[in-house]
């Protein structure tokens, strides 16, 4: 419930700095000492990096962050940090050195939460870190992974909107999800709100719960849902869930 309250707070903020401050302070209250938000275009020509660990990138380009190269092939969450480094023997030396450096700065265990996938116009997401050992981190984070993923999705949308061109706070970036090619419509044809509501509905939330999280009326949720279904050629919640599941499968 604490994370959903934080999501509602972020929904009401209107600038990227205030959103970032609320997000990092709120996650600190839950137990996350560090937050990294790293996105790039497919050619790494433009980068958006927000982090509580700026020293980690002092002489390492954000584009070389292992998160972007190893955690963004699907929407699944990945355990990160030196506490879980042994789980990934295939990582190259440069990636391992980066993770060890993060550990020396206090990022011992964490959770990577992609919100865009490798190969899309922009990709990346969040890496949330703590000083906890492996066992303590699993005890803390495992029960709230679903809420954390939803929070990061909502925070990404708000950052996407407030960092949009013309606002003056930074480079813009666009859609949230990339569509399977065999659908009548494309997910990136949807508005940010339509994507958000579609994701929530597909996860099994009621329209009342969607309305509460997005701070809009149930009637408006229905309008967004119907619009998303129409654009994508969907008929119901099950087809929406299958569409997102197939997107994850194709990205692996």
Question: SS3 for 110?
Answer: strand
15, 126: one domain: yes
178 falls within a domain: no
Residue 148 lies in a domain: yes
Residue 211 domain boundaries: 187-251
Domain with 13 in it: what CATH number? Answer: 3.30.450.80
26 and 79 housed in the same domain: yes
Q: Tell me how many domains the chain contains.
A: 2
Both 126 and 51 in a single domain?
yes
Which residue from 67, 51, 52, 181 is spatially nearest to 117, judged by alpha carbons? 67
pTM for the whole thing? 0.69
Same domain for 111 and 28: yes
Q: Which of 162, 179, 203 is the endpoint of a domain?
A: 162
- Give residue-wise pLDDT tens across range 140-181: 999 999 899 989 989 998 888 887 543 334 333 232 222 223
Same structural domain for residues 39 and 110?
yes
Same domain for 237 and 153: no
Q: Does one domain contain both 205 and 142?
A: no
pLDDT at 19: 92
Is it the case that residue 250 has pLDDT exceeding 60?
Answer: no
Q: Are residues 67 and 128 in the same domain?
A: yes
Domain-located, residue 179: no
Q: Give Rg (Cα) of the chain.
A: 18
pLDDT band of 247, cuts 50, 70, 90:
low
Which residues, 6 or more positions from 247, have their beta carbon under 8 angstroms from its beta carbon? 75, 177, 178, 179, 180, 187
What Cα–Cα distance (Å) separates residue 122 from each residue in 10, 30, 104, 165, 177? 22, 29, 30, 15, 10
Beta strands in the chain (DSSP E): 34-41, 47-51, 78-80, 109-116, 122-130
Domain shared by 155 and 87, yes or no: yes
**Which pLDDT does position 81 carry in this prediction?**
98
Q: Is residue 129 part of a domain?
A: yes
Same domain, 156 and 193: no
Q: Which segment of 27-36, 75-84, 141-150, 166-175 scores lowest on mean pLDDT?
A: 166-175
Q: 223 with 147, same domain? A: no
Which pLDDT band, with edges at 50, 70 and 90, does 214 fall under? confident
Residue 198 confidence (pLDDT): 87
Cα 153 to Cα 126: distance, rounded to the nearest angstrom: 9
Is residue 37, in this structure, part of any structural domain at all?
yes
Q: What is the pLDDT of residue 52?
A: 92
The answer to whether residues 43 and 146 belong to one domain is yes
What gap in Å lies between CA 56 and CA 35, rounded to an integer?
Answer: 12
CATH number assigned to the domain comprising residue 201:
1.10.10.10
The separation between CA 10 and the C-alpha centre of its own chain, rounded to angstroms, equals 14
Answer yes or no: is 216 within a domain.
yes
């Amino acid at each position: 419930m604490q994370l959903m309250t934080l999501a509602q707070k972020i929904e009401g903020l209107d600038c990227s700095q205030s959103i970032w401050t609320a997000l990092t302070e709120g996650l600190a209250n839950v137990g996350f000492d560090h937050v990294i938000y790293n996105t790039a275009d497919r050619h790494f020509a433009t980068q958006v990096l927000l982090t509580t660990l700026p020293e980690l990138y002092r002489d390492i380009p954000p584009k070389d962050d292992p998160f972007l190269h190893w955690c963004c092939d699907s929407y699944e969450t990945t355990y990160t940090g030196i506490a879980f480094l042994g789980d990934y023997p295939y990582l190259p030396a440069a990636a391992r050195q980066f993770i060890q450096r993060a550990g020396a700065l206090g990022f011992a265990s964490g959770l990577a939460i992609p919100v865009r996938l490798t190969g899309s116009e922009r990709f990346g997401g969040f890496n949330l870190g703590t000083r906890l050992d492996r066992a303590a981190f699993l005890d803390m984070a495992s029960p709230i992974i679903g809420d954390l993923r939803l929070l990061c999705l909502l925070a990404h949308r708000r950052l996407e909107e407030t960092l949009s061109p013309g606002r003056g706070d930074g480079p813009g970036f666009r859609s949230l999800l990339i569509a399977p090619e065999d659908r009548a419509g494309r997910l990136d044809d949807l508005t940010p709100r339509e994507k958000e509501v579609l994701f929530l509905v597909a996860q099994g939330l009621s329209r009342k719960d969607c309305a509460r999280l997005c701070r809009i009326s149930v009637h408006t949720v229905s309008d967004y849902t119907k619009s998303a279904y129409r654009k994508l050629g969907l008929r119901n919640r099950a087809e929406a869930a299958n569409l997102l599941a197939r997107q994850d499968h194709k990205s692996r």
